[in-house]
Amino acid sequence: MALASTDRKLFLGARMKRLRRELGLTQTRMAEDLGVSPSYLNLLERNQRPVTAQVLLRLAEAYDLDLKTLSSDPESASATGLSEVFSDQMFRDLGVARHEIAEVADSAPGVSEAIVRLYRAYLDQRRIADLGGVGRPEDGTLVQPVVTPSDWVRDYIQAQKNHFADLEDAADALSAELKSEPQDFPQAARERLARNFGVQVRVVPVDVLPESVRRFDYHRKRLFLSEVLTGAGRNFSLAYQLALLEHRELLETLADKAAPPDRPTRNLLKVSLANYLAAAVLMPYGAFYEAAERTAYDIELVRARFGVSFEQACHRLTTLARPGTRGVPFFMVRVDSAGNISKRFAGSAFPFSRFGGACPRWNIHSSFRTPGRIITQIIETPDGQRYFTIARTVARVARPFASEESDLAIGMGCELKYAERLVYSRGLDLRDPVATGIGPACRICERPACPQRAAEPISRTLTVDDFTKSITPYPFAST
């Protein structure tokens, strides 16, 4: 983001106010940090004064801030979600422009999220109706629109930029007390569970736990792990159980502080936070960050060093946002062979689709044809932003011969400017790369002549005729 411009003034009041509230600062305190008067800061927050380059630099210095996070971004997660909402046929006559959507997402993120949630509930109702499952109000069987627990938790974690300082501190302390090398972690964890909590760990045959891979018997103090778990999976299960028992109060406090809407959502959030803590115990921040940097983010080397899986290492890489030792800001998605997204995290902005899968032109889908092999790609979003990505399939458990295929694909990426720090980019021309254009949901993607387009963009006019067959099934006018 340019710091100053003679022909464009920056009005960032809403974002500055939101930043101040996220940091828990008063106007007086922030004004002191920035070296301005409270009255001047008040004018900045009300967009009655443009933000100067000097103020931007002070913001970055005082709060270890990436200035790009303050810019108005039409491809931000919030703006992308709104764009998908307004691409629906019911809003077509409104002609809502992208700059209007970006302005709403920028100035009123809470309102934007409320609109997205209402639309999600509407889609749920419509799907249920299509299946003949909507009841009648008079008999009390009408299905009420809700935000699913997984949607709520996913959005909450992303709002925290997928980094929890309190959990990192707790993990560092626990790791120091264990005093074990990664290869010695299983024994150290078992001994601590037995010594501090009287918990014994047993690996049991698959027929004992036919529908689960881990179960904790609270009354008998037994932790049962399925034999189908890989070594990395067993280590993570041990770390997870330690996280729950050692820091239950902290996890409860953080879950309550988030104010989830109901008990199922709170339970899922607590499990997600415990998973975060477990990963941080297995991969302590300082050691993991140093290993990632030293190996040029060679995920296979890093995961082997810490005794974790490829997916666990990828997930951990998205959390390296500690001030002073920030890693490459990665985003990550996990998809199945049908393209359904079951996990998404980002240490920086990336226009994830809120109501659809990943773009078919992103080679994360192609990785199913080369299982276990890392493939790379440079992608470009409609706003011209380029990202360097890798993709690879993963198997979560040991699979019996007669079982169904259950491989998933992991996609990792970062802005192209960070690619030179990655081992995977060696030998590639990063200054003049070949980039594959991708988009969000087809209904809001305006990239022309896409052979994999599944629907015309709502903002353009379909131009099908009797005389021409284009390479895309849904050709549209350019304006």
Say whether both 169 and 278 belong to one domain.
yes
Residue 307 is assigned to a structural domain of this protein = no
Query: What pLDDT digit, counting tens, does each position of 341-367 carry?
Result: 888 887 666 656 655 567 888 888 889
Say whether both 198 and 104 belong to one domain.
no
Note the pLDDT of residue 349. 61
Query: Percentage of the chain surpassing pLDDT 70?
Result: 84
Residue 150 is assigned to a structural domain of this protein = no
Residue 2 is assigned to a structural domain of this protein = no
Say whether both 458 and 397 belong to one domain.
no
Q: What CATH number has the domain bearing residue 355?
A: 3.30.450
Say whether both 456 and 391 belong to one domain.
no
Indicate if the pLDDT at residue 75 is higher than 70.
Answer: no
Among candidates 355, 232, 328, which has minimal Cα distance to 282?
232
Indicate if the pLDDT at residue 6 is higher than 50.
Answer: no
Alpha carbon dihedral 130, 132, 136, 140, in 10-degree steps, equals -110
Query: What pLDDT digit, counting tens, does each position of 172-216 carry?
Result: 999 999 987 888 999 999 999 999 999 999 999 988 988 889 999
Report how many helices (DSSP H) and strands (DSSP E) the chain contains, helices first: 16, 9
Q: At 369, is the secondary structure helix, strand, or coil? A: helix
Query: What pLDDT digit, counting tens, does each position of 277-297 carry?
Result: 999 999 999 999 999 999 999
424 vs 106, more confident: 424
Indicate if the pLDDT at residue 131 is higher than 50.
Answer: no
Q: DSSP letters of 203-263?
A: EE-TTTSTT-SEEEETTTTEEEEETTS-HHHHHHHHHHHHHHHHSHHHHHHHHHHT--SSH
Among candidates 237, 188, 232, which has minimal Cα distance to 209?
237
Lowest mean pLDDT among 56-60, 70-74, 166-170: 70-74
Say whether both 220 and 262 belong to one domain.
yes
Query: Percentage of the chain surpassing pLDDT 90?
Result: 42
* 126: exposed, middle or buried (Cβ count in 10 Å: 0-12, 13-18, 19+): exposed
Residue 346 is assigned to a structural domain of this protein = yes
Residue 147 is assigned to a structural domain of this protein = no
Its domain, for residue 30, covers 13-70
d(CA 136, CA 153): 30
Say whether both 34 and 93 belong to one domain.
no
Domains contained in the chain, number? 5
Say whether both 122 and 198 belong to one domain.
no
Say whether both 109 and 180 belong to one domain.
no
Say whether both 247 and 272 belong to one domain.
yes
Q: What is the mean pLDDT of residues 409-438?
A: 92
Say whether both 181 and 273 belong to one domain.
yes
Contact at 8 Å (CB) between 320 and 293? no
pTM to 2 decimal places: 0.73
Q: Strand 375-380 to strand 436-437: parallel, antiparallel, or no bridges (unpaired)?
A: parallel
d(CA 214, CA 17): 45
Residue 136 is assigned to a structural domain of this protein = no
* 32: exposed, middle or buried (Cβ count in 10 Å: 0-12, 13-18, 19+): middle
Say whether both 343 and 430 belong to one domain.
yes
Alpha-carbon distances, residue 142 vs 52, 130, 133, 351 (angstroms): 54, 14, 9, 34
Residue 250 is assigned to a structural domain of this protein = yes
Contact at 8 Å (CB) between 153 and 269? yes
Q: Say how many C-beta atoms besides its own lie within 10 A of residue 414's C-beta.
A: 25
Q: What is the CA radius of gyration of the chain?
A: 24
Residue 143 is assigned to a structural domain of this protein = no
Note the pLDDT of residue 129. 53
Domain ends where: 70, 90, 113? Answer: 70
d(CA 137, CA 129): 14
Element (H, E) at 345: strand 341-346
Res. 460 pLDDT band, cuts 50 70 90? confident
Note the pLDDT of residue 215. 94
Domain ends where: 70, 87, 113? Answer: 70
Query: What pLDDT digit, counting tens, does each position of 136-159 carry?
Result: 444 444 444 456 788 889 888 988
Say whether both 191 and 237 belong to one domain.
yes
Phi/psi at 473 (nearest 5 deg)?
A: -70, -10
